[in-house]
Amino acid sequence: MAAKGLIFDIKRFSVNDGPGIRTTVFFKGCPLDCRWCHNPESQSCEPEPISVTRRLNGKEYQHQETVGKYMTVEEVMAELLKENIFHETSGGGVTFSGGEPLFQPEFLADLARACRTRNIHTCLDTSGYCDPCLFSRLIPLFDLFLYDIKIFDRDQHIQYTGYPNDEILANLRQLDKTGVPYIIRVPVIPGVNDDAESMNSLLTFTGSLGNPVKEVHFLPYHPLAFHKLENLGRTDKMDKSIRINESELHKFVIEFEQAGCKVKTGG
Amino acid sequence: MNERIRKLREESLKAVNRISAERALLVTRFYRSAVAHEVTVPVQRALCFDYILKHKSICILPNELIVGERGPSPKATPTYPEINLHSLQDLEVLHNREKVHFQSDEDTRKAFAEEVIPFWKGMTNRDRMMRLLPLEWHQAYEAGIFTEFMEQRAPGHTVLGDKIYHKGMQDIITDIHRAMEKLDFMNDPQAFEKQEELKAMEISAGAIILYALRHADKLLEMASGEGDPDRKRELEEIASICRWVPAYAPRTFHEALQYYWFVHLGVITELNPWDSFNPGRLDQHLYPFYKKELEEGTLTADRAIELLQAFWIKFNNHPAPPKVGITAQESNTYTDFSLINLGGVKADGSDAVNELTYIILDVIEEMRLLQPSSMVQVSKKNPDSFLHRAIRIIKTGFGQPSVFNTDAIVQELVRQGKSIEDARRGGASGCVESGAFGTESYILTGYFNIPKVLEITLHNGKDPLTGKRIGMITGDPADFSSFEELLDAFNRQLRHFINIKIKGSNIIEKIFALYMPAPFLSLLIDDCVSNGKDYNAGGTRYNTSYIQGVGMGTITDSLTALQYHVFDRKTISLKKMLDALEKNFEGYEDLHYELVYNTPKYGNDDAYADENLVRVFEMYYDAVDGMPSPRGGTYRINLLPTTCHVYFGSKIRALPDGRKAKEPVSEGVSPVQGSDHQGPTSVIKSVAKIDHIRTGGTLLNQKFAPSFFKDDDSIQKLGQLIRSYFRLDGHHIQFNVVSADTLRDAQKHPEKHRDLIVRVAGYSDYFNDLGGDLQDEIIRRTEHEVL
């Protein structure tokens, strides 16, 4: 059993990461390096200092906090069980997010098993970037996947995330065959994947999947991440001024709906 | 809404709140007459009521469907000089104050100066009370330990059951005659008292019938001069309704509403009872009329809506009567807390939601009026569609309806000794107070300032604001070697002040029973008639006296801060802490920061902090619950502040939770403003650690930004959040949809808004955690989104 996992947050009353009222466990550490990442504090696999500014009586107080804490399965479960009544009443449960939870596979598996013995619904929010053998072993541990698909073009995927997308697409096909439900989540990034060609590739790909219930969530890009990057002492890699073209996106939404997908925007 | 309702609503909103001298003059003239002094007190009060209703002006507005005004015109508000007397200075303050003002003209001031004040000066019920209450009560009262509801208003706080919908006043008079026939002067030493009370009730019943007939006469007079044939017919129709009700049991939807309205006016004209009066379970009472008439084809859904809307406007025309003197801050609002209850369960325990429930919810949404207030009772048996409909109104952001847990209310009432059927016919009124509708007098006696008791404990019985010793000597806290010693001293001070409060309240109850009976109100609440006993003397089936604890969050966090820093971690001595409090944290900025940001706080599902909540709750419950009252009832607790947390805060210096001198204390059972930062589920878990079933109501406020309610999914999730709280026996929850102003304040004072969650994009985040640019953007968006 993996002794401890590196967790950077446990968020209660999470209402945008799967059905019902959920508790989201954020794993720290991610193999990808997406330029638009809105949880930049989740990328590094080490606890890292963050400067926090708080104000009181018009005076600013600066202090350092550490993002990321090594926790045992029992410690995480103790937090999750506090929310049991909400999970049960709402048909919610726990969502593992990150970072990339699959980057800490043993801890993730232990936690998912612990949830299952307690009858807690589990959802994995993942980029799918994982060794396919490992991935296939982990699939049965979860009740639902929130599966990120970012870019179809292999080279572009490398350009924007640092890595190719072969495993990601292969793993989604694996998942599709098991019958475990999943939702495809697409971060829509202006100038990266919001063009007609990208959307058409996505549409063709979803059409080729076997799962009869096709659910796609578009998550329009937002420049929220910047203040977090600054707090981490990093500079940003995105242009702050770019915004999503909502009417364009709406056209794609209609196309997906016409193709029989259940679509949600904004999550 | 149609043109008629739109106009009436507009007129109501436009009407200026002003003082009317009419009632004060009529009461004064009556008390000057010989007849007032030839009879017993109950009969005197009934004759006074009769005199007012015979002589007050009748006001019927153009195109009205429901008729009757308390004053000569909408929002013309009477005073009650037999209860408390407005001085000329009071009138001036009311006239000039910036908020919740009441205008008074030259004639009004003259009437007060020449007739009302000379007669009543020193002779009001308030004067009598103040003379009879002991010194210790006055000292604690002046120090802001507690307030007293009956100081300025009569006991009331009751809700009508279904009596009037199947009994006319003539039927009630028959009941009175039966009770009189049973009087046994040989064996019942109270027979004479009962006879006088029953006589008074009969006079009051006759008075309201005559008052309705005066309206009928006026309506016919108006009809004869009316050029529009439709309106002419309408006026004649309303006239015939006023001839039928309240004398006889209503036969139609329209008659039922008009009957209630006459009864409402009667109650708020007889005296100025707290929380005016309230029809309670309106969807239950009106449904049989609605169903029958719809089937018979004499009523359409549209007409029912129009009548309900007209009914709503009548409430809005009647602001709470203004107080005198210093307590203006205590409950500074025009609203008089009529709380319409919808949903819940029937007496047999089954789901009570019906077609009319949804129609009334539509009316609430469309009318968007301050008064009446509204709430939904949600039982586990009620469908989600009902709850979701209510949430759709909540999200429009005007604070209504609030949401109550029927299953908890029923348990609370049964624990207090009500039959299960009476409990199920009940609900909540005022802010959140549980009661058995139609059968209970549940009087709020006043708010109790729990954090102030800690301040006095920390000063060994002295009030540091005045230097006066008003508490017990419980020891110099600097000598306390453990937190338990401090808790014990606090508990002894708490009991000391609760005992003072209860002793004073017992005196006041008796004064009202002896000198200010309410024979008209007694007609309406069972079993006053069959008992031959007044509402104010214990005539109702159930009698409860509540003491409303205020500042649970503040007291919990203050105790926790002392436990954490002084006793557990020993980072600061108690002496030094007291010095910091005295200096309002000046020169102690770092300590202040530690107290605000680095101390366990109630509201985060943190056992360390929440344990102190439970400790204080049990102490408060033990001190109050079960004490007997002179009406033959029992003292109980509830936990709500209305706006008293502001007044109480002004009476306390800085506290160990980091709250600065004079700032408001926390409200209801909500955490200290901004100190909960783990989201609403954690708040709910913390709040549910106390046993709500042993209270008569608790109040929990939660804030949401409008963006939270973006889609249907969020409505369901909010519904699930409410259901979860109710599974934990939570009593009440209300949602404030935050405004852009609140967000701007959060930019300025982040420490007070750590709980503020906003939807960013695809997910939610704490407002405080967002960058300045993004905060600005969300403020702009919020301004845009609020309806």
Q: What is the pLDDT of residues B573-623, one digit of tens each?
A: 999 999 999 999 999 999 999 999 999 999 999 999 999 999 999 999 999
* Least Cα separation, residue A54 to chain B (angstroms): 8
Report cis status (omega within 30 of 0) of the bond before B118: no
pLDDT band of residue A224 (cuts 50, 70, 90) is low
CA B8 – CA B2 distance, rounded (Å): 10
CA A207 – CA B710 distance, rounded (Å): 29
CA B347 – CA B343 distance, rounded (Å): 12
Number of H helices, E strands in chain B: 31, 14
Mean pLDDT over all residues of chain A?
90
> Which of A8, A9, A21 would best serve as a mutation to test chain B binding (most B beta carbons within 10 A)?
A21
Predicted local distance difference test score (pLDDT) of residue B787: 34
Q: Are A21 and B724 a contacting pair at CB < 8 A?
A: yes
CATH superfamily name and code, A5-265: Aldolase class I (3.20.20.70)
Collect all residues from B whose CB is shorter than 8 A from any CB in A.
Answer: 589, 592-593, 596-597, 605, 678-682, 685, 710, 713-714, 717, 720-721, 723-724, 727-728, 750-751, 760-765, 770-771, 774
Candidates A16, A219, A227; nearest CB to B770: A227
pLDDT band of residue B770 (cuts 50, 70, 90) is confident
Task: Compute the average pLDDT of residues A36-59.
Answer: 86
- Judged by phi (left if over 0) then psi (alpha if -120 to 50, else beta), residue B603 lies in left
CA A115 – CA A142 distance, rounded (Å): 10
CA A61 – CA A121 distance, rounded (Å): 41
CA-nearest residue of chain A to B384? A90
Say whether pLDDT at B256 is over 60.
yes
Please, are residues B46 and B203 in contact by the beta-carbon 8 Å criterion? Answer: yes
Q: Among residues 63-102 of chain A, which lie with CB inside 8 Å of chain B? A: 82-83, 85-86, 89-92
B46 Cβ partners below 8 Å, 6+ apart?
A: B199, B200, B201, B203, B204, B207, B519, B520
Kindly list the domain boundaries of chain B, sorted by start residue. Answer: 278-318+327-437+707-728, 446-513+543-699
B115 Cβ partners below 8 Å, 6+ apart?
A: B25, B28
Task: Compute the average pLDDT of residues B402-430.
Answer: 97
Predicted local distance difference test score (pLDDT) of residue B326: 55
Candidates A17, A59, A224; nearest CB to B774: A224
Candidates A13, A61, A227; nearest CB to B681: A13
A217 DSSP β-pair partners: A185, A264
Candidates A59, A227, A267; nearest CB to B763: A267
**Nearest CA to B610 among B665, B550, B675, B546?**
B675
Q: Which helix (H) or strand (E) holds B657?
A: none
Residues of B in contact with A61 (CB under 8 A): 593, 597
Q: Are B681 and A12 a contacting pair at CB < 8 A?
A: yes
B22 counts as catalytic: no
Predicted local distance difference test score (pLDDT) of residue B236: 98
CA A161 – CA B692 distance, rounded (Å): 53
3-state DSSP call for residue B42?
A: helix
* Least Cα separation, residue A51 to chain B (angstroms): 12
Measured between CB atoms, does A55 come within 8 Å of chain B? yes
Q: Are A57 and B596 a contacting pair at CB < 8 A?
A: no
Q: Work out whether strand A215-220 and strand A262-265 pair parallel, antiparallel, or are unpaired.
A: parallel
B443 DSSP β-pair partners: B545
Q: Are A21 and B728 a contacting pair at CB < 8 A?
A: no
Predicted local distance difference test score (pLDDT) of residue B702: 84
A15 Cβ partners below 8 Å, 6+ apart?
A: A21, A22, B713, B714, B717, B764
Candidates A85, A223, A224; nearest CB to B724: A85
Between the alpha carbon of residue A76 and those of residues A44, A138, B101, the distances in Å are 20, 19, 55
Cα B241 → chain centroid: 31
Measured between CB atoms, does A262 come within 8 Å of chain B? no
Q: Which helix (H) or strand (E) holds A225?
A: helix A225-231
* Least Cα separation, residue B750 to chain A (angstroms): 7
CA B667 – CA B513 distance, rounded (Å): 32
Q: Are A21 and B721 a contacting pair at CB < 8 A?
A: yes
Q: Work out whether strand B764-766 and strand B757-759 pair parallel, antiparallel, or are unpaired.
A: antiparallel
CA B271 – CA A104 distance, rounded (Å): 71
CB pairs < 8 Å spanning A and B: 89
Q: Give the angle subtended at the CA of A87 by the CAs of A83 and A93, to the nearest 5°.
A: 100
Please, are residues B451 and B655 in contact by the beta-carbon 8 Å criterion? Answer: yes
Q: Are A227 and B771 a contacting pair at CB < 8 A?
A: yes
Please report, as a single letter, which amino acid is at residue B347. Answer: A
**Nearest CA to B690 among B673, B671, B669, B675?**
B669
pLDDT band of residue A37 (cuts 50, 70, 90) is confident
Task: Compute the average pLDDT of residues B678-703.
Answer: 94
Predicted local distance difference test score (pLDDT) of residue B763: 58
CA B34 – CA B763 distance, rounded (Å): 74
Candidates B680, B720, B770; nearest CB to A90: B720
Residues of B in contact with A91 (CB under 8 A): 720
Residues of A in contact with B751 (CB under 8 A): 54-56
Q: Are B592 and A82 a contacting pair at CB < 8 A?
A: no
Residues of A in contact with B710 (CB under 8 A): 266
Q: pLDDT per residue over A160-209, tens digit each? A: 999 999 999 999 999 999 999 999 999 998 888 888 999 999 999 999 99
Residues of A in contact with B682 (CB under 8 A): 12-13, 82
- The percent of residues above 70 in pLDDT, for chain B, comes to 97
Residues of B in contact with A219 (CB under 8 A): 761-762
> Model pTM?
0.94
Residues of A in contact with B675 (CB under 8 A): none
Please, are residues B454 and B561 in contact by the beta-carbon 8 Å criterion? Answer: no
Q: pLDDT per residue over A53-108, tens digit each? A: 888 888 889 888 999 999 999 999 999 999 999 999 999 999 999 999 999 999 99
Residue carrying the six token digits 């309410």? B518
Residue B240: CB atoms within 10 Å: 12
Measured between CB atoms, does A235 come within 8 Å of chain B? no
Catalytic option among B48, B59, B242, B431: B431
Residue carrying the six token digits 């309406």? B524
B502: tokens are 């209860």
Between the alpha carbon of residue A141 and those of residues A3, A110, A145, A230, the distances in Å are 19, 9, 10, 37
Mean pLDDT over all residues of chain B?
94
Catalytic option among B433, B455, B509, B667: B433
Q: Are B762 and A220 a contacting pair at CB < 8 A?
A: yes
Task: Compute the average pLDDT of residues B381-388.
Answer: 98
Cα B6 → chain centroid: 28
Q: What is the largest CA-CA distance in chain A?
A: 59
* Least Cα separation, residue B771 to chain A (angstroms): 5
Q: Are A219 and B592 a contacting pair at CB < 8 A?
A: no
Candidates B727, B751, B774; nearest CB to A227: B774
- Check residue B17 and report its DSSP letter: P
- The percent of residues above 90 in pLDDT, for chain B, comes to 84
**Nearest CA to B687 among B787, B547, B552?**
B552
Could you tell me if the ipTM is greater than 0.90?
yes
Q: Which helix (H) or strand (E) holds B308?
A: helix B301-316
Q: Are B720 and A20 a contacting pair at CB < 8 A?
A: yes
Task: Compute the average pLDDT of residues B40-55.
Answer: 98
- What are the respective helix, strand and coil percentages of chain A, to the nearest 5? 35, 25, 35
Q: Are A85 and B751 a contacting pair at CB < 8 A?
A: no
Residues of A in contact with B583 (CB under 8 A): none
Candidates A85, A89, A266; nearest CB to B761: A266
pLDDT band of residue B786 (cuts 50, 70, 90) is very low
Task: Compute the average pLDDT of residues B433-446.
Answer: 97
> Which of B763, B768, B774, B776 would best serve as a mutation to test chain A binding (most A beta carbons within 10 A)?
B763
- The percent of residues above 90 in pLDDT, for chain A, comes to 66
Q: Which helix (H) or strand (E) holds B562?
A: none
Candidates A56, A83, A230; nearest CB to B596: A56
Q: Are B723 and A11 a contacting pair at CB < 8 A?
A: no
Residues of A in contact with B770 (CB under 8 A): 224, 227
CA-nearest residue of chain A to B592? A56
**Nearest CA to B380 among B729, B723, B718, B730?**
B723
Say whether pLDDT at A236 is over 60.
no
* Least Cα separation, residue A88 to chain B (angstroms): 9
Residues of A in contact with B717 (CB under 8 A): 15, 20-21, 90
Cα distance between the two ends of chain A: 34
B431 counts as catalytic: yes
Please report, as a single letter, which amino acid is at residue B711. Answer: D
Sign of CA dihedral B612, B613, B615, B616: positive
